[in-house]
Structure formats: C-alpha cells, structure tokens
Chain A
Amino acid sequence: MNILYFAWVREQIGTGHEDLDPPAGVRDVRGLIAWLAARSPGHESALRDTSRLRAAVDQTFVDLDAPVAGAREVAIFPPVTGG
C-alpha cells in the first residue's frame, strides 16, 4: 500500500511516502493511522490527534471510517488550504 503524507504531517514524519503492507487487522483509515502512529516518534506526533487529519483512499476524499482493504494509495493530510 502506497501511503502519502502532506504538509505538516509529512514534515513531522520526515517523508512524504512509504510503501507498507498493513496487517489484516487494519480495516479502516482510522485503524491504519493508529498502526502507522507506532512506527516512530515522528509518526506518533503527526498522527496522534485524528481530529486534525483528513484522508483520501485511491485519490478520493473519505471519512476516517472508510475501509482501506484493497486500496493502492492512502493519503493522510491536514485540512486543505488552497486558493
């Protein structure tokens, strides 16, 4: 699974991209975030407060309760600030 991070999530984790195989117990985005948070202190710091996070599965914006089974790409990021 291709995991992408953007903005301060990317900065705190220290990379914009990881290629990982989450265990079968990881069912939704929220579960994926909890699993990722244990990878390093940077992950923990960036992913601790899920109320500040948004996500996209296979390039579609989703709620954190969305399933991730079979997803090729999951992006995790703060709320967008374009324009």
Chain B
Amino acid sequence: MIHVRLQAESFDAGAELARVEALGGGGVASFTGIVRGDDGLTELLLEHHAEMTRAMMEALAADAAKRWDLLGVVVLHRHGALAPGEPIVFVATAATHRGAALDACASLIDRLKTQAPFWKRETFADGRQRWVEPRASDDAAAARWLRDGG
C-alpha cells in the first residue's frame, strides 16, 4: 500500500497512523513535522510546483517501498500558509520488522527535505519575511541514504 497526498488542508496524524498499523506488519514507524513558533514566527508559507512536487513524493515513496520491502507507506505533505503548531508533513512505514520500518521512515523524511520541490517562507510578528535557506546538515542526512545504496 503506497499512499501519497499533497494538500493545503490539515490532516489527522493519528488516523493516518492507524491505517498503517492495520496492515498486519510487525513494525510501524512514523514521523510528524510540526511548524515551530521560534523567534515570533507567525506564519510558514510552503510554496510548491503543482506537478513536480507530487511526482517527486510519489517517486520517493515507491523507491522506499521497493528498497525496504515495505507492507505500506504513507507520505503526506501540506502546502500554503501554516501557523505554529500545525502539522506540515507526515510519513509512516509498515514492515515485517522494526529495522526496515525505522530506516525507511528516516530516509523518506530526509529525502523529502532535500529533493521534493518545496520552498518555505517565514513571517514574523514584526512583519519581517525570510525564505528558509537549505542547511548543509540536511544535505548530509539525505546523502547518507544514497551512500548506503539508494
């Protein structure tokens, strides 16, 4: 089961997780990314490319499902204007054993960060706006999965 969604609306991470837990695997891993309100942040805008972003999410999910022989994978990513505390991204993976589920989940979130075409703009309480710059540590995290074989 591969399920990918790109949407403006919020989602219920608990309900999404329950769907993956019901697949009969012995191990389920998940990650939920949430907007932080650091430094007086009032809004996080996620810009995306309508076709390319969805295609990349689907390609990354399919790649993980094949590499780790997953029973199921769910990848959700939001776009548009989000407030602190709101969920941005959700990944869940089900496998026979914990190792595959944990590695696949970590790989997917690392690769989404550096390979899926999203751009984040922060707006702060004083009106300042700033586009988020990529971090070398994010590239290193994603490269780890490529170096390990895909």
Contact = CB atoms under 8 A, between A and B. Distances in A.
Most chain A Cβ neighbours within 10 Å, of B33, B47, B109, B121: B47
Contacts of B110: 83
Given A6-B47, A6-B117, A82 B89 contact: yes
B52 A56 contact: yes
B134 A59 contact: no
Interface stretch (A30-38, A62-70, A73-81): A73-81
B98 interface: no
Contacts, number: 65
A80 B119 contact: yes
Q: In which size bucket is the chain A interface?
A: 10 to 19
Interface residues of B, number: 27
Contact of B117 (A8, A10, A82): A82
A10 B45 CA distance: 14
Given A77-B117, A80-B119, A80-B134, A4 B49 contact: yes
Given A10-B47, A83-B138, 13 more contacts: A59-B52, A59-B55, A77-B119, A79-B134, A80-B115, A80-B117, A80-B134, A81-B113, A81-B132, A82-B77, A82-B112, A83-B113, A83-B114
Interface of B: 33, 46-47, 49, 51-52, 55, 77, 88-89, 109-110, 112-121, 131-134, 138
Which A-B residue pairs are the 8 nearest by beta carbons?
A: A82-B118, A83-B113, A7-B119, A79-B134, A82-B116, A81-B132, A59-B52, A83-B112
